[in-house]
Structure 1
Amino acid sequence: MRRLGSTVVVVAGDRAAEVVSGLDGLHNVRAILRGERPAAEVTESVSRASATYVVHDADPLAEVGGAWVDFFDGNAPTGGLEVAIETALAGLRSERLILPDYYVVLDPDDLAPTRRHWWLGVLAGAAPTRVAPAPAAVASVAETLGHLAAGRWWPADLEGWLRGLPKVVPDRVGLPGEPSLRGL
């Protein structure tokens, strides 16, 4: 999976587009809004951008996260999570999608429990320093960008990790005896 020269940050949450647009113009920040564009088009824009931080709101794992939440909340059709995983893997392999260096999750305390577990359990469990919570305010996210810590990248076996997500249960992420997010 490709990594870029800029630090790529996905801002996620209900007010992500508003916050991302507010970051445009900050020194060393290039903000890219998804709008109605397909994810592959946003990936192309992100790949061409030149700045210390490239910040956008087009989460490459959005469909997987939504399907994971629906799977554990009992709102998904059989096989929906697996289809989302395989679709994401195909996009990552073809480089139509690129994993960000970091996720900034806006107002995680306001999220439904299973959604919060996706962000702060599943994703943070796979790469602890790669997921940062922040209030949904431009100034807060700008400050968060300046304090992002280096750490382990996403799992080396990305396919195994993603395909193991149906076994990663909310409220049990990281507990002894549960499937390890790092080893998946």
Structure 2
Amino acid sequence: MVVVAGEEARRVVAGLGGLHNVRAVTRDDRDPEEFADLVRRGETTYVVHDADPLAGVGDAWVEFFDGVSATGRLEVAIEEALGALRAGRLELPDYYVVLDPEDMPATRRHWWLGVLAGAAPSRVVPAPASAARVADALGHLAAGRWWPEDVAGWLRGLPRVVPDQAGLSGSPA
């Protein structure tokens, strides 16, 4: 499973629909159960979609470090994600393809290329916001370390992962 993330994710995912061995699914207005069923039924090499299972955590982390979130919002987002992961309503993807990270605000870029890439370096791939470039990236995905074995501990440690140090050696990420 590959999540395409970024401002142009829906457009890029829709542009991947005709590729061999790729099932492209966009979240659109589907309810969560219907969308999860569509993703699970993928019998191709890649199921590519635009519904980031950690979006709430990522948004809350960015707001926390940008100083614009309500107290406790990050912790609540983490516990909600953990509950959904335990219940099988969410699943961590095999890969994230992050569109145009160089155009993102600094803290958001640190989320993708620091926090997530620090946790699983081969699993976060930057790419231009183009279906052709993402298709090329799909053909070159590398195997590597999976997400942390202790996902709960990793997520609960995020409030201590400072943006400009995320993913660096010795960082809790």
TM score, norm. by length of structure 2: 0.97
Look up the equivalent residue of 2:135 and give its one-letter code: A
Q: 1:70 to 1:146 in 2, by over 3 A?
A: same
What do residues 56-83 of structure 1 show as CA deviations (whole Å, max 9, x unaligned)? 0000000000000000000100000000
Match runs of 1:14-163 below 5 Å: 14-163=7-156
Q: 1:28 to 1:175 in 2, by over 3 A?
A: closer
* Distance in 2 (alpha carbons) for counterparts of 1:71 and 1:59: 19
Q: Note the C-alpha offset of 1:176.
A: 5.3
Look up the equivalent residue of 1:27 and give its one-letter code: H
* Distance in 2 (alpha carbons) for counterparts of 1:39 and 1:122: 26
How much identity, in percent, do the aligned residues show?
A: 68
Q: Classify the secondary structure of the residue corresponding to 1:122.
A: helix
CA contact (8 A) 1:32 1:57 kept: yes
* Distance in 2 (alpha carbons) for counterparts of 1:135 and 1:79: 34
* Distance in 2 (alpha carbons) for counterparts of 1:122 and 1:22: 28
Consecutive unaligned residues in structure 2, runs of 5 or more: none
What do residues 83-112 of structure 1 show as CA deviations (whole Å, max 9, x unaligned)? 000110111111111110000000000000
* Distance in 1 (alpha carbons) for counterparts of 2:103 and 2:35: 27
CA contact (8 A) 2:120 2:144 kept: yes
* Distance in 1 (alpha carbons) for counterparts of 2:70 and 2:91: 27
Q: Note the C-alpha offset of 1:125.
A: 0.1
Q: Note the C-alpha offset of 1:115.
A: 0.1
TM score, norm. by length of structure 1: 0.91
Look up the equivalent residue of 1:112 and give its one-letter code: P
Q: 1:127 to 1:175 in 2, by over 3 A?
A: closer
Look up the equivalent residue of 2:136 and give its one-letter code: E
Q: 1:175 to 1:168 in 2, by over 3 A?
A: same
What do residues 6-37 of structure 1 show as CA deviations (whole Å, max 9, x unaligned)? xx000000000000000001000000010122
Asked whether 1:13 is paired with 2:23, we answer no
Length, aligned pairs only: 173
Q: 1:156 to 1:72 in 2, by over 3 A?
A: same
* Distance in 2 (alpha carbons) for counterparts of 1:56 and 1:175: 29
* Distance in 2 (alpha carbons) for counterparts of 1:51 and 1:36: 23
